[in-house]
Amino acid sequence: MKPKLYGRLKLLLGMTHANKPWSIIPSFKRVMAVAFATGAYGLIFPTLWRLSASYELSRFLILTLSAITGMIVWLIIAHKLWEKPSTKSHRKLRLLYNTATILTITVAVVVYYMMLMVLFLTAVAFIVPPDLFSEIAGLEDVAGFGYFIKLGWLVTSIATVAGAIGSGLESEKTARNIMYGYRQQQRYEEMAYHGDNVENKD
């Protein structure tokens, strides 16, 4: 890896860490409530049971990637976290800030997705009888643990999209403060630096 590219990557990861993506998780409570309610309701219908039994791994991965990407885009748009071009912002810095925002939201959404999957796997284990699942899904044998994982996985992806579109983060101010934490700190340091220079000239 070239030193320049490594330096940019290190800076980007540092900015993402400074944004503290784990601090956004508490703001996902309302989104998670909507998503879990939607997914739990969907578990009642046998259509998802049949789909989960027939889907291959590649389809689950595509659904997961689509759900996570969709939620990331929705959160950025809904909370206006994308820094637009302006006369006061440099193009390279703006690209760096927006990339850090995407990484920060991605980390938070992936953690949210995993938490939601744990909830649905638990719900599937309690709600769905193995014998009934086998009968509805057209399986020859009694459904094993793998089929329940697939069902929970499918419901998680569907509920993630429903939760993102149907709601937003509880505190937009908190989300924006987290997203702009690094850039605000940097701009404060720049203002302080310019202020010191003015005083020295005087």
∠ CA 196-199-202, rounded to 5° = 155
- Evaluate if residue 115 carries a pLDDT over 70: yes
Q: What is the DSSP letter of 32?
A: H
What is the predicted pLDDT for the residue at 153? Answer: 96
Distance CA 176, CA 105 (A): 11
Average pLDDT over residues 15-26: 77
Distance CA 135, CA 180 (A): 52
Residue with token string 């791994």: 57
What is the predicted pLDDT for the residue at 24? Answer: 76
What is the predicted pLDDT for the residue at 198? Answer: 42
What is the predicted pLDDT for the residue at 191? Answer: 44
What is the predicted pLDDT for the residue at 188? Answer: 43
Q: Which residue has the higher pLDDT, 108 or 82?
A: 108
3-state secondary structure 74-116: HHHHHCCCCCCCCCCCCHHHHHHHHHHHHHHHHHHHHHHHHHH
What is the predicted pLDDT for the residue at 111? Answer: 92
What is the predicted pLDDT for the residue at 175? Answer: 61
Distance CA 167, CA 51 (A): 26
Give the helix/strand (H/E) hosting 55: none
Residue with token string 């006061």: 88
Tell me the whole-structure pTM to 2 decimals: 0.79
CB-CB contact of 151 with 48 (8 Å): yes
∠ CA 52-157-142, rounded to 5° = 25
Domain segments of the chain as ranges:
27-171
What is the predicted pLDDT for the residue at 192? Answer: 46
Average pLDDT over residues 160-174: 66
